Chain A
Amino acid sequence: MSTDSTRSFRKALFSAPGLLWIGLFLVLPTLLFLPIAFASANPYGLPALPITLDTFKEVVGFMFFGWTPANIMIVIRSILQGLITTIASLIVAFPVAYFISQSRSYLKPLLLVLIIIPSWTNQVVRAYAWMELLGPNTMLSQLAAAIGWIRPDMSLYPSGVAVLIGLVYSYLPYMVIPIYAAMEGMEWSLCEAAQDLYASPIAVFSRVILPQTMGGIIVGTILVLVPSFSNYIIPELMGGNKSLMLGNLIANQFSSTPDWPYGAALSVVLIGISFILLLILKLLTRLTGSQEGAML
């Protein structure tokens, strides 16, 4: 018995290098944000003494000339960006997942891999592809001008709509796959039973299909919400100068005009919001009693 447990302990030790690696190169570096956020910035924007709360005052909008709502607006806009992208992906992904789950079994692997393939491409290229499609003098821009949505000499990008299209395009596969997986495990006979009992299509959807696919929807939301909330590449390339997001603000503090303490404080805010969003989703998982599909 004891040889068995020493053997499994020795086996478990194989995990140590990988776990320590993540600790050393991700957890420890992320913890560095905290001390830096409470430092002052030297003339080069690098952290220096004394310890101060000024960075956090700046984060909530107290600049040296008074209070501005700019940062709060950026945070709200970033959260909205995440929520709208998630909802839009969900609306597109649900029928697609349904269609795949209803198709012939020999077609399913092909249909699935076709959904996954675009997620293997570089995100700048994906944004670039849409810049090409939505640019001036393209079919889509001319169509939008013809129905009076934009002026004839304008293009569909840069704009908020372009950012949304770029984000949904990037994250759609991550929503389709978990919902499809949930549908594969569904009892479809319950739908027929509900129909036999004269349930309306809406009732069948909301009381039979939705509860059984909730686990997949939540996993998909976990995979889409936080990345689209923190994405700054697509807003930067496709949104023009009006769509500054929290991610852009952070990136600026560490590249063009350095201010590490301010950037670190903003990073703490971004991590905090991501953590709260994940916590809400974890609570939802428990409330709906659905399986945590992605957990070990």
Chain B
Amino acid sequence: MKSNIYRTMSQAFTGCAYLFLYVPLLLVFLYSFAQLGEGLSAGLTTQWYADLLSSADIRQAFVTSILLAGLSAIPATILGTFLAYGLSAMRTRQRSAASYLIYLPIITPSIIFGIADMIFFNYINRYTGLLQAGLPTMILAHITFELPYVALLVYAKLRTIDPQLIDAIHDLYGNQGKVLRHLLLPVLSPTLLGGFLLVFTLSLDDLVISFFTAGPSSVTVPIYIYGAIAKKGVTPEINAIASILVLASIAIALAGTVMRKEVK
């Protein structure tokens, strides 16, 4: 009887927590269809989405964001996978030393990460003329914060592979190439694709690291939104861009999660 009360209370509390998580995002989405200065009851409009399409700045921001996410997530997935493969061959002590380096990009405050890279690229540019602030510098910084996530996901998956399977392939005179083709690639490919999609989303959503490593002509969608809020506050136009960004992030990351869980 008493435990029923606790149960109801925890149910109600959890329901509120889920509302707390979703009501704000839903409102952003709903208000993106509202007319200027009116509530939703005054009728819906797709005007703000049409405005977005006709704005060259916003189209450019979406192109930059997608290029940044794609061109950083591919190398990050490759580097992270190699890193995880190497980890699985290490002794415990080496592995725990390496793990400090792997967790570093995850725990470093993004403001420190972004500014440190900004200074670093600035000095390289001053002395060599290479790496002027822009899309290339953002890609280098994004690869750095993405690759640990891939490495951790792939390493967790590698640990589920029975080492005796690898021995068996070697016993049957299969070389490393055979191990890779017939065992590792089939087992890992859902994790690789899932990891790629996850870090693609992380890159798409990043503001602070992008902000400090960006050049004047490499504005991403989050940088655009940040600037627009600072200048204009709450506007229906921002609701529309934000809705597209949120829906894209959730769809891509969800696809990645489903992908990883598929073969379990």
Q: A residues near B, CB below 8 A?
A: 8-9, 11-19, 21-23, 25-30, 32-33, 36, 92, 95-96, 98-100, 102, 109, 113-118, 120-126, 128-133, 135, 169, 172, 222, 226-227, 229-230, 232-233, 237, 247, 250-251, 254, 260, 263-264, 267, 270-271, 274, 278, 294-296
Known contacts A19-B101, A122-B205, A125-B28; is A26 also within 8 Å of B116 by CB?
yes
Closest Cβ of chain B to A169, distance in Å, is 7
- The contact of B111 among A118, A129, A133, A232, by CB within 8 Å, is A232
Number of residues from B at the complex interface, CB < 8 A:
84
Known contacts A99-B10, A230-B111; is A19 also within 8 Å of B98 by CB?
yes
Residues of B near A120 (CB, < 8 A) are 201, 205, 249-250, 253-254
A18 to B7, CA, bound (A): 48
Contact across chains for A124 and B22 when beta carbons are under 8 A apart: no
Residues of B near A99 (CB, < 8 A) are 10-11, 13-14
Given contacts A120-B201, A230-B110, 15 further A-B contacts (CB under 8 A): A15-B98, A18-B79, A25-B141, A114-B21, A121-B249, A123-B207, A124-B226, A128-B225, A131-B229, A133-B24, A133-B27, A250-B111, A251-B115, A264-B119, A278-B107
Residues of A near B152 (CB, < 8 A) are 296
Residues of A near B133 (CB, < 8 A) are none
Q: B residues near A, CB below 8 A?
A: 7, 10-11, 13-14, 17-18, 20-25, 27-28, 31, 79-80, 82-83, 85-90, 94-96, 98-99, 101-105, 107-113, 115-120, 123, 140-141, 143-144, 147-148, 151-152, 155, 201, 204-205, 207-208, 212, 221-222, 225-226, 229-230, 233-234, 238-239, 242, 245-246, 249-250, 253-254, 257, 261
Residues of A near B31 (CB, < 8 A) are 132
A-B contact pairs, 17 of them (CB 8 A): A15-B98, A16-B86, A21-B143, A21-B144, A22-B144, A26-B116, A26-B117, A28-B120, A30-B112, A32-B120, A92-B17, A122-B204, A122-B242, A128-B229, A226-B107, A260-B119, A267-B116
- The contact of A122 among B98, B239, B246, by CB within 8 Å, is B246
Residues of B near A264 (CB, < 8 A) are 119
Residues of A near B246 (CB, < 8 A) are 121-122, 125
Known contacts A30-B112, A95-B10; is A124 also within 8 Å of B207 by CB?
yes
Closest Cβ of chain B to A203, distance in Å, is 15
A247 to B110, CA, bound (A): 10
Closest Cβ of chain A to B195, distance in Å, is 13
Known contacts A120-B249, A230-B111; is A132 also within 8 Å of B27 by CB?
yes
- The contact of A21 among B18, B90, B94, B147, by CB within 8 Å, is B147
